[in-house]
């Protein structure tokens, strides 16, 4: 069974409408929809915004259902130099926790500065960066995603994170889900529709509807390859 996790209902309404024999149950006050999509058994859950909600949701579906893969999807902000525009879709090649670490007079440094890994698996230590599964969809750009607690509120901040991590997309949930999946040794994949350019907070220049629609279409195309 593949778990499909998006932050908010508007990011998953097309997928829910496309699911066959969708049945709803409730775990930890969160609705879980079970059914099939493109002939694949799936469950769908809206995590809520942010890393804590995302990590909690990933944990409860893995603990309570026979999940063998997780797909995180929704909208995200493209970094200014990514070449992405509103309505494009991007796939994560890896996920990075962009906030955790140490801020000193020299600037920001990651969790390696503290020396305590978030996860240790097969003798490998994971600090800020987590691998994600590879998805290959034609004409869809792949690259590093950065997960933040505070969305970039200026172009300067967005460019700073883009340079630091050589990233293409910013979001608020992905790395948290990747960390949980690493703990449970379950493959995680991530697809984002671009709603805005990171750092641009003028919502008149955003298109969340188009980003969500295109992202969900990409998820439904990808499901068949994840059987």
CATH of the domain at 29: 3.40.50.1580
pLDDT surpasses 80 at 103? yes
26-30, 68-72, 106-110, 120-124: range with lowest mean pLDDT: 120-124
Cβ contacts of 91 within 8 Å, gap of 6 or more: 135, 137, 140, 141, 142, 143, 189, 190, 191, 192
pLDDT surpasses 90 at 106? no
pLDDT surpasses 80 at 227? no
Q: Which domain holds residue 130?
A: 2-226
3-state SS, residue 144: strand
Question: What local confidence, expressed as pLDDT, does residue 121 receive?
Answer: 83
Nearest to residue 97, comparing CAs of 201, 159, 170? 170
In this prediction, residue 218 has a pLDDT band, given cuts at 50, 70 and 90, of: very high
Contact 194, 183 (CB under 8 A): no
Question: What local confidence, expressed as pLDDT, does residue 21 receive?
Answer: 86
Question: What local confidence, expressed as pLDDT, does residue 156 receive?
Answer: 97
State the total domains in the chain: 1
pLDDT in tens, 129-177: 999 999 988 889 999 999 999 999 999 999 999 999 999 999 999 999 9
pTM summary value: 0.96
Question: What local confidence, expressed as pLDDT, does residue 34 receive?
Answer: 97
Question: What local confidence, expressed as pLDDT, does residue 224 receive?
Answer: 85
Nearest to residue 20, comparing CAs of 1, 43, 3, 4? 43
Average pLDDT over the chain reads 96
CA dist 147 to 42, 63, 93, 112, Å?
Answer: 25, 24, 13, 17
Token pair belonging to 184: 């449970």
Contact 19, 4 (CB under 8 A): no
Percent of the chain whose predicted confidence (pLDDT) is above 70 = 100
Residues facing 25 on adjacent strands: 32
In this prediction, residue 26 has a pLDDT band, given cuts at 50, 70 and 90, of: very high
Q: What is the DSSP string of 57-71?
A: HHHHHHHHS---EEE
In this prediction, residue 110 has a pLDDT band, given cuts at 50, 70 and 90, of: very high
Stronger pLDDT, 38 or 194, i.e. the higher one:
194
pLDDT surpasses 90 at 196? yes
- Residue 139: left if φ>0, alpha if ψ -120 to 50, beta else—which one? left
């Amino acid at each position: 069974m593949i778990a499909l996790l998006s932050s908010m209902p508007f990011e998953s309404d097309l997928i829910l409408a496309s699911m066959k024999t969708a049945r709803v149950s409730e775990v930890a006050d969160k609705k879980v929809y079970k059914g099939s999509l493109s002939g694949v058994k799936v469950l769908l859950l809206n995590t809520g915004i942010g890393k804590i909600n995302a990590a909690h949701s990933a944990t409860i579906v893995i603990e309570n259902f026979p999940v063998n893969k997780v797909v995180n999807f929704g909208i995200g902000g493209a970094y200014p130099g990514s070449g992405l525009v509103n309505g494009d879709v991007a796939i994560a090649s890896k996920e990075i926790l962009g906030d955790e670490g140490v801020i000193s007079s020299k600037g920001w440094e990651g969790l390696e500065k503290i020396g305590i890994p978030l996860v240790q698996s097969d003798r490998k230590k994971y600090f800020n960066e987590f691998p994600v599964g590879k998805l290959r969809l034609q004409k869809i750009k792949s690259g590093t995603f950065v997960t933040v607690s505070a969305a970039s509120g200026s172009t300067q901040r967005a460019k700073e994170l883009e340079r630091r991590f050589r990233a293409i997309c910013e979001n608020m949930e992905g790395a948290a889900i990747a960390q949980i999946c690493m703990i449970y040794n379950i493959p995680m994949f991530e697809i984002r529709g671009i709603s805005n350019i990171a750092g641009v907070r003028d919502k008149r220049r955003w298109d969340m509807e188009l980003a969500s629609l295109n992202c969900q279409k990409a998820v439904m195309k990808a499901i068949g390859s994840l059987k």
